[in-house]
Every structure is written in C-alpha cells, then in structure tokens.
Structure 1
Amino acid sequence: MSGGVEWALHCCTLLSRASQPVPAVKLAEYHDVSPSYLAKQLQLMSRAGLVRSTQGNAGGYVLTRDAAAITVLDVVEAIDGVLPAFRCTEVRQRGPLATPAEQCADPCAIAKVMDSADRAWRDSLRAVTIADLVADADRQILPGAVERARAWLAS
C-alpha cells in the first residue's frame, strides 16, 4: 500500500470536519507534506468521486458525500487502484518440472490463501468509514483540538 493512502485518509478526516472548502495548499501545510505530492492524491480522490474542488476565493476541496458514506476501502482503491495486492503468475508452470497448464485448472494453495487474505482485508476496510475514523480520533485527541483545527483551516 502506498503512503498516499495515509495522506488521503488524513485529508478525508480533516475535510469531514471542515465547515468550508479547504485549499490543497492548506491541507498540505496542515499535514506538513509537499503540496505537489498531496495534489496528486487529491486528484486521484477527485477522479474516484470522493472529493471535489470548488473555485474562487473560498475555493478548495470538500467531500462529495457524508463521511459515513465513504469507506476506508473507497480511499485505498482511489489511491492505489482496485487490483488485488497479490497477482498469481503461475510459478508452478515454470522451470524444469513445470506442471502442464491443463493440470492447473484450480488455483494453487498459495493463490488461494492470498486471495482469501485480500478478500478479508478488503472486507475489513469496507466496514470502516471516514466517520468511524473521526469518532475514534475524537476519543484520542486533546480537548479543544478540533476547534483549533477548524479555526486554523478557516484562517
């Protein structure tokens, strides 16, 4: 999984708290990350329909739907794509003792376990929303931190 996923998730949690659009440069400054790097992640999320940009003096990024309707998996797939992490290359059909292709109708044990793990991982990420992340973060942050963040973003 790329580092862009982490930045994108942090941006989504922050955008879910914002009362107005947040400029990309402000998001980058808040998270102390390169504006060009973060812009790439925001573009990917925009293409996936998770955020949209608004123009003008009050322009910036907003979530396209409620935080409870955006899953962690939505963000992961927006940034890293929808392909499984493991791609079987049929290693068993290679080398001097290769298994003939006609005897490889079923996936091998390795492909089966990796596919099962990928499905479990995706199911787990699909079960958590941005709103869930925000609620969990709210239990961990210092009193007044949310208000300070909102004020900083609005400045």
Structure 2
Amino acid sequence: MKVKPSLEQAICVLMLLAIQKREIPLHSTLISQRLGLSDSYTKKVIQHLSRAGLVRSVSGKDGGFVINREPDQITMLDVFNTIEGTGPFGVSSGLADHVFGMSKDPSFDACYHMGRLDEGHNPGDAKEEALAIFAEAEKSYRDKLAASTLNELCPHRDGKLITIDWTPWLQAKSDAQAQGEVEQ
C-alpha cells in the first residue's frame, strides 16, 4: 500500500500547530512556506484536517489556524483516516471467481474431465483467505496507528511539549526571501 504524500504533509502541519502557542493562530501562507508547498495545496491539506476537527480556523486580521485538540489526543489513525479514508485496504472485484470458477462451468469439465474441484481449493475460498490476510494486516496497521499520537512526534524539553510562536521566525525568513528575489 502506498500512502498519499498529503499524509506526511498533514502530519507536518499538525506538528507545526501542536507546538505553536494556542493563542496565536498560524497563517496558512507561513505554514506553506515552512513546508515548501504551494499555499493552495497547503490550504487543501488544512481543509481536510479542519473537516476532521483536528484544526480550526481563526478569522480576523491576525487569523490563521490552530490545533483543535491536544497532541496526545490526536492519533496517527485520526490523521491517516482524514487523508486516506476509512475504507478497507483489500476489496475483491470478483476476478478470481471469474477466472478460476471453471469447475462450475460444464464446458470446462467436458474439456478436462476434472469434475468438481476440492472445496478447500476453490477460488471463492482463496479469495476469502486473501481478503482475510489483508484484513488482518490492515487491523494490525490501524491498531499501531491508533496507539501512536502526534505528541510522540513533537519536540519536547524536560518531558514537556515545547511551545513557540513560529510567526516571527517564519515571517523574517519570508521577508528575507522576498528581498533576495527583488535584488536578483
């Protein structure tokens, strides 16, 4: 299974907001500059996080985004489900039955004279076994994500989550980049 790049980006947005002082919203432009992504793409990622209740928008002149729950209350499963969805990893299209359901077809038996195949080896059983393997792997994957929180990923000092205001540093970097672009 390959996850979308936006999963990593969502985790990084949440990490930025997790250590951002809660009373100071972080503007999406500064978030996108820090991540090196376009502002429109960052806003799409944030929109997913907002719909899931993980972040919220603060309007106004000094508005932006803040994390909506404490980092130890946001699991990696919350983020995964927000970006990837909650559907199962493996779903049968019925192809195995179509291709290997030959023992049910009288013309197959007329050609090969095999009779009914063993019940333990029919494609329906194999399909169900394969889906069960994927379901078990998916459960383990989701259980691991559910047991891991955003707090575990964020920087700590003396056992406590650090909190800073990213705004001055990010704004200074943005201003320096803008001046460098003008001078060139």
Shared topology, TM-score over 0.5? yes
- How far apart are 1:84 and its partner, in Å? 2.0
Residues 81-126 of structure 1 show CA distances to partners (whole Å, capped at 9, x for unaligned) of 11122222233211263476xx848962211111111111111111
TM-score by length of 2: 0.70
Residue 8 of structure 1 is matched in structure 2 by 10
Task: Give yes or no for contact 2:56–2:67 (8 Å, CA) kept in 1.
Answer: yes
Q: TM-score, normalised by structure 1?
A: 0.82
Amino acid at match of 2:78: D
8 Å Cα contact 2:96/2:127 also seen in 1: no
Give the alignment partner of residue 143 of structure 2, picking from 95, 119, 123: 123
Q: CA deviation at 1:57?
A: 1.5
Are 2:133 and 1:113 aligned? yes
**Cα shift readout 1:27-55 (whole Å, capped 9, x = no counterpart):** 00011011111111110111111111010
1:51 aligns with 2:78: no
Superposed, 1:19-58 pairs within 5 Å as 19=21, 20-58=24-62
List gaps (5 residues or longer) in structure 2. Answer: 105-121, 158-162, 173-184
Question: Which AA in structure 1 matches 2:29?
Answer: V
Give the conservation status (yes or no) of the 8 Å contact 1:92–1:99: no
Provide the aligned length of Structure 1 versus Structure 2.
146
Moved more, 103-112 or 28-37: 103-112
Structure 1 segments unaligned to the other structure (5+ residues): 140-145
Structure with bigger gyration radius: 2
Matching residue of 2:19? 17
Aligned to 1:70: 74
Give the aligned residue type for 1:127: A
